[in-house]
Chains A and B, each alone.
Chain A
Amino acid sequence: MRIFDPHIHMSSRTTDDYEAMHAAGVRALVEPAFWLGQPRTSVGSFTDYFDALVGWERFRAAQFGIAHHCTIALNPKEANDPRCVEVLDVLPRYLAKDGVVAVGEVGFDSMTVEEEKAFVRQLELAVEFELPAMVHTPHRDKEQGTRRTLELVEQSGLAPGMVVVDHLNEVTVDQVDEAGCWMGFSIYPDTKMDEHRMVAILQRRGLDRVLVNSAADWGRSDPLKTAKTGAAMLDAGFSEDDVDRVLWRNPVEFFGQSGRLMLPADGSGDETADASATFEGNSILRGSRD
């Protein structure tokens, strides 16, 4: 089973996690820029974080044979802090980089005017930099937040196929599906979705435009939930090819629209970058796969 985790915050995870993920089949991932748990108080704190996403974390992942990509954005929670909003002016520098495969996480947390302003501005940046957008949906009042998200996406001019609306559940999936956006599901130990509910959604509406992620971070979460969802799919009668489509080909198709993916040369998922990545660059080829 080859796995592309389209949403996982590796900066918060250990090298044990990287080893376990590789053993479970994870060969590529996307780390979205997000809140760190502790609120930031300055733009410099953001740029150091972004530098780590395109620098150290990419190098660290390569040591374990995993291709690391990221998304860059001002997250909705901190869009409410005027000390942080100026980071919007430095985003273009990062959005031009290889391996930056989307603008994100953008969206709503508390549905404020400030959040909407930052969200709209960053959808404009996605259009300008020809990047997909990764949209976080709020934990509270998710249905209304998702509805407003879809209105803003439509107004932005960004094609629905360039947008993934994330952290969906049984209540919010259909409106995103009807809008033509990609549907992201975060499989968690307690909250959000679990793998069996995920399988039920796949059985009901099929595999098109579905991304399954662990969204593992500094909270109670499990970086192997992608693999466990794959196992649950097989148990429910899905084929190996179905699992490959959801856990590898779908994220490759979505993020490949950026033209910035950095995947193993042969597309097998069997990256063995660790030896060469420690010196003289690495063996990961960049560019989208067909």
Chain B
Amino acid sequence: MTDVRPLVDDDDLLAALDERGREEWRSLSAQVTDDPGRLDRVFPAAARRTGRGPLDDGVLLEDAVRVGLVRSAAQGLSPDQLLDELRELYRYGDNDEKRAVLHALNGAPDEVDGTDVLLDALRTNDTRLVAAAMGPHSDHLDDDAWRQGVLKCLFTGVPVTAVTGLRARADGQLADMVGRYRREREAAGRDVPTDVQVVLDACAGRAQQQPQQQPQQQKDS
């Protein structure tokens, strides 16, 4: 059994669905609880059978439903089995499904390591995927990949509020990269996104906390 954190509380999810959607949700959830292998058939159709649209805080109802289904299926799966299922859903998912898989990884326990899925998402130019890939599960990324992910957010216009743990992890090397990005924008006579300063401030904050840190110690994996 593996515990996956829901994207929204069950009560909030049920409240957001209409009566038909609630019925469907209970049925789909029961199906994957009984047989987690049904996830591949239930996951793609979940949104049109239950509901979709924005909830509070930028969360989408269809994402909450799909993460809920993963959570139900995960009760009967080991962490390794869950990871296999998530990889399969991601591989054949449309971009909405892929985004939901990334949200599910963000709520998965530490022993579920979906780094390969995150790296795939970060190679895309779909900003919704890039944003989801920089959530809590991004703590599995090594420092190089994580810094490139932050830079990609700046580059593609994903607000850096999407980056989990920015203040804790921003370092001197990221500051150098972002500084070079700023100079390139300025040299081209283009606007510098306000998030550039947010990231630089985060880097400076960490440097203040750890003034003795040497560059070669910054890579922690």
Number of residue pairs spanning A and B whose beta carbons lie under 8 angstroms apart: 62
- Report whether B98 and A55 are in contact in the complex, using a CB–CB cutoff of 8 Å: yes
A280 and B128 CA atoms in complex are apart in Å by 6
Does A54 count as interface, using CB distance less than 8 angstroms? yes
Instruction: State in angstroms the CA–CA spacing of A260 and B92 once bound together.
Output: 18
B109 contacts A by Cβ under 8 Å? no
User: A97 contacts B131, CB within 8 Å?
Assistant: no
- Cα A210 to Cα B97 in complex, Å, equals 34
- Beta-carbon contact of B124 and A280 below 8 Å: no
Contact A260 B131 (CB under 8 A): no
Asked if A37 CB lies within 8 Å of chain B CBs, one says no
Closest to B52 in A: A286
List the A side residues contacting B41 at CB < 8 Å: 96
> With an 8 A cutoff between CB atoms, is A281 at the interface?
yes
- Tell me the A91-110 residues at the B interface (CB within 8 Å): 93-94, 96-99
A185 located at the interface, meaning its Cβ lies under 8 Å from any Cβ of chain B in the complex: no
Given A54-B95, A285-B53, check contact A279 B128 (CB 8 Å): yes
Interface residues in B31-73 by Cβ distance below 8 A to A read 40-41, 44-45, 47-48, 52-54, 58, 60, 62-63
- For B43, give the chain A residue with the smallest CB separation: A96
Interface residues of chain A: helix, strand, loop or mixed (majority): loop
Q: How large is the interface on B (under 10, 10 to 19, 20 to 34, 35 or more residues)?
A: 20 to 34
The answer to whether B45 touches A96, judged by C-beta atoms less than 8 angstroms apart, is yes
- Selected from B60, B124, B159, the residue in CB contact (under 8 A) with A281 is B60
Given contacts A56-B126, A98-B48, A286-B52, contact A279 B98 (CB under 8 A): no
A279 to B158, CA, bound (A): 7
Asked if A22 is at the interface of the complex by the 8 Å CB criterion, the answer is: no
Asked if B127 and A259 sit within 8 Å, CB to CB, the answer is no
Mark interface residues in B71-111 (1 if CB within 8 Å of A CB, else 0).
00000000000000000000010111111000000000000
